């Protein structure tokens, strides 16, 4: 049995995770990397050396965009929503774990790469890990073995120092096993990587350890919300396949999303609706709570969302209809993110406000139910699956078109769904919206995910509203969504590195940006360099 390509999950790859921090690529993904590293050293970490590539994206952003916060918190065993992330520096100091940070070239073509060496008195483990966007991650190597750990199942790693093979008869016919991979490193040593749907019996692992005392066994639990089932098969994986599948069936986009996610995660329809409803409730709570204001000094922007609401009530602003509720909702969500409140990466933390602000703002304006919001968000998730399959949500790879651009396409489809439009109209809206924001760069002011991120989230929603109406009015999308996604992927990789979330180009290097960055850094210097 070998590893296979795993199709994206709406709840793993697209809508979620719930998290704290400015960036899902940095905070949530590296919290998960830290949690995995902690598990692989049996929760007994004494010292760690971390290496970031100076030619990648993390070396210049790891403190200000939350890599340190996520990673060090994960090493302590904190989940991405844990309130202790706000005090991660003090918490990590109290742990007594020795931390060293280095910058040197890593020969892997991924801007979100991290190399680490974990130590305690008994062992030393070397890991290579990447953040792949939207809170997703992958451990790609351990002790010179090329592997793939993505947190979507239970993992058992058996490091064999014996000359002879270890019999795997006990696993071969186990219905719990997803795959078994035998991996060799340059020294010709073997690693058996076993992926399973639940933990393997401790008694079985103990018996193997007793029989082969020189082997080492490591286990890692499920980390993502949706686990990968055995013999995974999905009914469609591109938009064109979905439309073909739907011929003669007449499903709405949200219904198709449920059909897809049910197959992807072996979930019941009620489970899918319940999961999305919980995320919707988190989004609503974040918006309404932060509309009332919050106190958080370490950020570029202060409280603004409530001011917009006040001016709308005074009728002192232009009448732009539904957008006059979407804009403060988006602003409140961005304020929640920047103050380390809990938000939902939808599809990322940097783009966490455009899609929710558009859907919830429109639903509240139209006095629609939470059920309708849930259906709209599922529709958005289906569009996100197509993006995740063929492109990326990581701004470090594809610029802001990968984040706010993707979110805008997803929001356009969601709004069509909310308004009762057809599946074809929702797909057309997504295509047109993504066409309009192709080439959007990522250039955070003062190396913070606030400016121009707020404006780009508002742009995502505004673009979504316009294209939702255009699609329902019968406008021609011209380019099918699948082709737009592929074009976006190519364009994103051609955006200069300086404009792909490195804070090395665009607005990031203006005089004012540098002045703000210096002012913020003077009161927030890292204690780990």
Residue 529 reports pLDDT greater than 50: no
Banded pLDDT at 169 (limits 50, 70, 90)? confident
Domain annotation covers residue 3: no
| Strand, coil or helix: 320 | coil
Q: Which of 21-35, 150-164, 336-350 has the lowest mean pLDDT?
A: 150-164
Banded pLDDT at 227 (limits 50, 70, 90)? very high
Contact partners, residue 314, CB within 8 Å, separation at least 6: none
| For residues 455-468, average pLDDT | 98
Same domain, 183 and 294: no
Q: What is the pLDDT of residue 525?
A: 36
Last residue of a domain, one of 186, 220, 254: 220
Same domain, 139 and 265: no
Same domain, 285 and 333: yes
365 φ, ψ (degrees, to nearest 5): -65, -40
Last residue of a domain, one of 220, 248, 268: 220
Contact partners, residue 310, CB within 8 Å, separation at least 6: none
Q: What is the pLDDT of residue 524?
A: 47
Banded pLDDT at 526 (limits 50, 70, 90)? very low
Domain annotation covers residue 528: no
Residue 187 reports pLDDT greater than 70: yes
Last residue of a domain, one of 175, 192, 220: 220
Residue 151 reports pLDDT greater than 70: yes
Structural domain range at position 505: 239-522
Same domain, 207 and 267: no
Same domain, 215 and 243: no
To the nearest whole percent, how much of the chain has pLDDT over 70? 97
Domain annotation covers residue 84: yes
| For residues 498-503, average pLDDT | 95
Q: Which CATH number covers residue 134?
A: 3.30.1330.90
Q: What is the pLDDT of residue 137?
A: 97
pLDDT tens string 334-354: 999 999 999 999 999 999 999
Domain annotation covers residue 459: yes
Same domain, 72 and 175: yes
Q: What is the pLDDT of residue 163?
A: 62
* Cβ–Cβ under 8 Å, residues 443 and 401: no
Nearest alpha-carbon partner for 85 in 35, 29, 19? 19
Banded pLDDT at 174 (limits 50, 70, 90)? confident
Residue 38 reports pLDDT greater than 90: yes
Calculate the average pLDDT of the chain.
Answer: 94
Same domain, 204 and 303: no
Residue 195 reports pLDDT greater than 90: yes
Residue 4 reports pLDDT greater than 80: no
Q: What is the pLDDT of residue 1?
A: 37
Domain annotation covers residue 226: no
Q: Which long-range contacts (CB under 8 A, 24 or more apart) does 434-437 make?
A: 434/401, 434/405, 434/406, 434/408, 434/409, 434/481, 434/484, 434/485, 434/488, 435/479, 435/484, 436/408, 436/463, 436/467, 437/401, 437/404, 437/405, 437/408, 437/463
pLDDT tens string 375-398: 999 999 999 999 999 999 999 999
- Entry field: residues in the chain: 529
Domain annotation covers residue 234: no
Prediction pTM value: 0.95
Residue 434 reports pLDDT greater than 90: yes
Q: How many domains does the chain have?
A: 2
pLDDT tens string 54-75: 988 999 899 889 999 999 999 9
pLDDT tens string 271-310: 999 999 999 999 999 999 999 998 888 899 999 999 999 9
| For residues 160-189, average pLDDT | 80
Domain annotation covers residue 124: yes
């Amino acid at each position: 049995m070998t590893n296979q390509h795993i199709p994206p999950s709406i709840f793993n790859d697209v809508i979620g995770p719930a998290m704290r921090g400015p960036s899902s690529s940095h905070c949530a993904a590296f919290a998960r990397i830290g949690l995995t590293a902690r598990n692989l050293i049996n929760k007994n970490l004494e010292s760690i050396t971390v290496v970031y590539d100076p030619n990648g994206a993390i070396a210049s952003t790891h403190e200000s965009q939350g890599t340190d916060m996520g990673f060090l918190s994960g090493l302590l065993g904190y989940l991405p929503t844990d309130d202790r992330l706000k005090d991660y520096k003090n918490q990590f100091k109290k742990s007594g774990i020795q931390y060293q940070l280095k910058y040197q070239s890593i020969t892997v073509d991924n801007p979100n790469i991290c190399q680490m060496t974990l130590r305690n008195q008994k062992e030393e483990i070397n890991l290579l890990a990447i953040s792949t966007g939207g809170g997703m991650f992958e451990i790609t190597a351990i002790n010179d073995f090329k592997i793939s750990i993505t947190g979507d199942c239970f993992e058992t790693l058996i490091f064999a120092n014996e000359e002879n093979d270890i019999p795997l008869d006990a696993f071969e016919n186990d219905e719990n096993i997803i795959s078994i991979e035998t991996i060799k490193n340059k020294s010709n040593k073997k690693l058996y990587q076993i992926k399973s749907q639940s933990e393997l019996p401790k008694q079985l692992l103990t018996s193997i350890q007793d029989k082969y005392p020189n082997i080492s066994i490591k286990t890692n639990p499920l980390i993502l919300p949706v686990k990968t089932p055995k013999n995974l098969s999905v009914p469609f994986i591109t938009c064109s396949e979905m439309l073909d599948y739907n011929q003669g069936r007449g499903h709405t986009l949200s219904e198709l999303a449920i059909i897809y996610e049910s197959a992807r995660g072996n979930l019941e329809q009620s489970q899918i609706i319940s999961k999305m409803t919980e995320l919707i409730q988190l989004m609503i709570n974040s918006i309404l709570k932060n509309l009332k204001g919050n106190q958080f000094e370490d950020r570029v922007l202060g409280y603004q969302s409530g001011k917009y609401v006040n001016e709308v009530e005074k009728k002192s602003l232009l009448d732009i209809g539904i957008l006059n509720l979407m804009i403060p909702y988006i602003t409140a969500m961005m304020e929640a993110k920047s103050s380390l409140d809990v938000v939902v990466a939808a599809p990322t933390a940097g783009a966490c406000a455009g899609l929710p602000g558009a859907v919830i703002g429109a639903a509240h304006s139209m006095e629609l139910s939470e059920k309708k919001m849930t259906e709209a968000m599922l529709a958005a998730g289906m569009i996100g699956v197509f993006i995740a399959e063929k492109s990326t949500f990581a701004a470090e790879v594809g610029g802001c078109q990968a984040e706010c651009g993707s979110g805008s396409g997803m929001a356009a489809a969601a709004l069509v769904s909310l308004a009762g439009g057809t599946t074809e109209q929702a797909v057309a809206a997504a295509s047109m919206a993504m066409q309009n924001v192709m080439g959007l760069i990522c250039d955070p002011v003062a190396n913070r995910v606030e400016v121009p991120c707020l404006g780009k989230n508002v742009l995502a929603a505004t673009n979504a509203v316009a294209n939702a109406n255009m699609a329902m009015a019968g406008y021609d999308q011209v380019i099918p969504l699948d082709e737009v996604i592929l074009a976006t992927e190519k364009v994103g990789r051609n955006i200069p590195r300086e404009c792909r979330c490195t804070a090395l180009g665009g607005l990031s290097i203006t005089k004012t940006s540098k002045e703000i960055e210096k002012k913020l850094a003077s009161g927030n210097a890292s204690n780990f360099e």
